[in-house]
Protein backbone atom coordinates (compact mmCIF):
# COMPACT_ATOMS: atom_id res chain seq x y z
CA UNK A 1 0.00 0.00 0.00
CA UNK A 2 2.84 2.43 0.78
CA UNK A 3 4.39 1.62 -2.58
CA UNK A 4 1.20 2.52 -4.41
CA UNK A 5 0.93 5.85 -2.60
CA UNK A 6 4.56 6.67 -3.35
CA UNK A 7 4.01 5.88 -7.03
CA UNK A 8 1.01 8.20 -7.15
CA UNK A 9 2.94 11.06 -5.61
CA UNK A 10 5.77 10.64 -8.12
CA UNK A 11 3.29 10.53 -11.01
CA UNK A 12 1.49 13.68 -9.83
CA UNK A 13 4.82 15.46 -9.35
CA UNK A 14 5.99 14.58 -12.89
CA UNK A 15 2.64 15.61 -14.35
CA UNK A 16 2.76 18.94 -12.48
CA UNK A 17 6.27 19.63 -13.81
CA UNK A 18 5.18 18.96 -17.40
CA UNK A 19 1.95 20.96 -17.10
CA UNK A 20 3.72 24.26 -17.85
CA UNK A 21 5.21 22.85 -21.05
CA UNK A 22 1.84 21.37 -22.03
CA UNK A 23 -0.05 24.60 -21.30
CA UNK A 24 2.45 26.65 -23.34
CA UNK A 25 1.87 24.63 -26.53
CA UNK A 26 -0.01 26.28 -29.30
CA UNK A 27 -3.46 24.85 -29.75
CA UNK A 28 -4.85 24.70 -33.27
CA UNK A 29 -8.40 25.95 -33.43
CA UNK A 30 -10.44 24.14 -36.05
CA UNK A 31 -13.66 25.55 -37.43
CA UNK A 32 -16.81 24.33 -35.75
CA UNK A 33 -19.10 22.24 -37.89
CA UNK A 34 -18.85 19.31 -40.20
CA UNK A 35 -15.81 19.15 -42.42
CA UNK A 36 -16.72 18.96 -46.09
CA UNK A 37 -16.02 15.66 -47.79
CA UNK A 38 -13.63 15.88 -50.71
CA UNK A 39 -14.51 14.71 -54.19
CA UNK A 40 -11.40 12.78 -55.22
CA UNK A 41 -10.77 11.39 -58.67
CA UNK A 42 -8.15 9.09 -60.12
CA UNK A 43 -7.29 8.91 -63.80
CA UNK A 44 -4.58 7.45 -66.01
CA UNK A 45 -3.37 9.45 -69.01
CA UNK A 46 -1.08 8.78 -71.96
CA UNK A 47 2.36 10.38 -71.46
CA UNK A 48 1.43 13.32 -69.18
CA UNK A 49 -1.24 14.84 -66.96
CA UNK A 50 -2.65 16.65 -69.99
CA UNK A 51 -2.51 13.62 -72.29
CA UNK A 52 -5.62 11.74 -73.40
CA UNK A 53 -7.19 9.34 -70.91
CA UNK A 54 -6.13 5.71 -71.12
CA UNK A 55 -9.32 3.90 -72.16
CA UNK A 56 -7.92 0.62 -73.43
CA UNK A 57 -4.90 -1.61 -73.06
CA UNK A 58 -1.42 -0.12 -73.11
CA UNK A 59 1.77 -1.85 -74.15
CA UNK A 60 4.62 -2.61 -71.77
CA UNK A 61 6.95 0.37 -71.91
CA UNK A 62 4.29 2.92 -72.90
CA UNK A 63 4.48 6.19 -70.96
CA UNK A 64 1.51 6.69 -68.67
CA UNK A 65 0.67 9.23 -66.00
CA UNK A 66 -1.31 8.37 -62.86
CA UNK A 67 -3.19 11.46 -61.63
CA UNK A 68 -5.09 12.12 -58.40
CA UNK A 69 -7.12 15.26 -57.83
CA UNK A 70 -9.42 16.24 -54.98
CA UNK A 71 -11.84 19.16 -54.80
CA UNK A 72 -14.31 20.53 -52.33
CA UNK A 73 -17.64 21.36 -53.92
CA UNK A 74 -18.36 24.34 -51.67
CA UNK A 75 -14.77 25.55 -51.41
CA UNK A 76 -12.69 24.85 -54.52
CA UNK A 77 -9.66 26.71 -53.13
CA UNK A 78 -9.65 24.71 -49.86
CA UNK A 79 -7.61 26.43 -47.21
CA UNK A 80 -7.59 23.58 -44.67
CA UNK A 81 -6.35 20.38 -46.30
CA UNK A 82 -3.91 18.90 -48.76
CA UNK A 83 -3.57 15.41 -50.20
CA UNK A 84 -0.86 12.81 -49.72
CA UNK A 85 -0.83 9.69 -51.89
CA UNK A 86 0.55 6.62 -50.12
CA UNK A 87 0.47 2.83 -49.83
CA UNK A 88 0.31 2.11 -53.55
CA UNK A 89 0.30 -1.51 -54.62
CA UNK A 90 0.28 -3.42 -57.88
CA UNK A 91 -1.24 -6.85 -58.20
CA UNK A 92 -1.79 -9.49 -60.85
CA UNK A 93 -4.48 -11.52 -59.02
CA UNK A 94 -1.79 -13.78 -57.50
CA UNK A 95 0.39 -11.41 -55.53
CA UNK A 96 0.29 -7.87 -54.19
CA UNK A 97 3.47 -5.79 -54.20
CA UNK A 98 3.78 -2.45 -52.40
CA UNK A 99 5.52 0.06 -54.68
CA UNK A 100 4.83 3.33 -52.80
CA UNK A 101 5.20 3.19 -49.01
CA UNK A 102 3.14 4.71 -46.18
CA UNK A 103 5.01 8.03 -46.59
CA UNK A 104 4.32 8.27 -50.32
CA UNK A 105 7.89 7.34 -51.28
CA UNK A 106 8.84 4.87 -53.99
CA UNK A 107 10.15 1.53 -52.78
CA UNK A 108 11.89 1.10 -56.16
CA UNK A 109 13.26 4.58 -56.99
CA UNK A 110 15.49 3.34 -59.81
CA UNK A 111 12.44 2.30 -61.85
CA UNK A 112 9.55 4.21 -60.23
CA UNK A 113 9.73 7.87 -59.16
CA UNK A 114 8.21 9.30 -56.00
CA UNK A 115 4.77 10.86 -56.18
CA UNK A 116 4.96 14.51 -57.26
CA UNK A 117 2.53 17.21 -56.16
CA UNK A 118 1.35 19.97 -58.48
CA UNK A 119 -0.55 21.79 -55.74
CA UNK A 120 -2.22 21.06 -52.40
CA UNK A 121 -4.94 18.85 -53.89
CA UNK A 122 -3.28 17.25 -56.94
CA UNK A 123 -0.66 14.54 -57.27
CA UNK A 124 0.79 12.45 -60.05
CA UNK A 125 3.37 9.91 -61.02
CA UNK A 126 4.91 9.40 -64.46
CA UNK A 127 5.75 5.75 -65.19
CA UNK A 128 6.27 3.31 -68.02
CA UNK A 129 3.70 0.51 -68.18
CA UNK A 130 5.04 -2.75 -66.80
CA UNK A 131 4.01 -6.30 -66.04
CA UNK A 132 4.71 -8.45 -63.01
CA UNK A 133 4.89 -11.67 -65.02
CA UNK A 134 5.37 -12.65 -68.65
CA UNK A 135 2.20 -14.76 -68.63
CA UNK A 136 -0.05 -12.27 -66.79
CA UNK A 137 0.09 -8.83 -68.33
CA UNK A 138 -2.86 -7.22 -66.51
CA UNK A 139 -1.78 -5.14 -63.52
CA UNK A 140 -4.11 -3.58 -60.94
CA UNK A 141 -2.82 -0.35 -59.43
CA UNK A 142 -4.23 0.78 -56.06
CA UNK A 143 -3.33 3.74 -53.82
CA UNK A 144 -4.63 5.49 -50.71
CA UNK A 145 -5.23 9.21 -50.52
CA UNK A 146 -4.73 10.78 -47.12
CA UNK A 147 -6.07 14.24 -46.28
CA UNK A 148 -3.61 16.26 -44.20
CA UNK A 149 -4.55 19.35 -42.21
CA UNK A 150 -2.35 22.28 -43.23
CA UNK A 151 -0.24 23.97 -40.56
CA UNK A 152 -0.11 27.76 -40.87
CA UNK A 153 -1.47 27.44 -44.40
CA UNK A 154 1.29 25.05 -45.49
CA UNK A 155 1.15 21.41 -46.40
CA UNK A 156 3.75 19.28 -44.62
CA UNK A 157 4.06 15.98 -46.46
CA UNK A 158 6.75 13.43 -45.65
CA UNK A 159 9.99 14.01 -47.57
CA UNK A 160 11.32 11.16 -49.69
CA UNK A 161 15.08 10.64 -49.65
CA UNK A 162 15.33 9.08 -53.11
CA UNK A 163 15.26 12.50 -54.81
The mean pLDDT values, 10 residues at a time, for the chain of 163 residues are 40 50 63 73 95 91 94 71 93 88 92 92 92 73 92 90 63
The residues near 141 (Cβ < 8 Å, ≥ 6 apart) are 44, 66, 88, 89, 90
The pLDDT value given to residue 11: 45
Domain boundaries, given as residue ranges, for the chain: 39-149
The pLDDT value given to residue 2: 41
Q: Choose the CATH number for 39-149 among 3.40.50.10490, 2.60.40.4100, 3.40.50.1100, 3.30.200.20.
A: 2.60.40.4100
Residue 52 and residue 46 in contact, taking contact as beta carbons nearer than 8 Å: yes
Helices (H), the chain: 2-24
The pLDDT value given to residue 19: 54
Amino acid sequence: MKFLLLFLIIFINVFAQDWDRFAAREIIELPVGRFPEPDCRYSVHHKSQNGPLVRSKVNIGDEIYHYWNCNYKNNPKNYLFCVAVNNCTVSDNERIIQIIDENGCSKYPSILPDVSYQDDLSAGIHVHAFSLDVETTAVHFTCNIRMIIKENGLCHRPICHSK
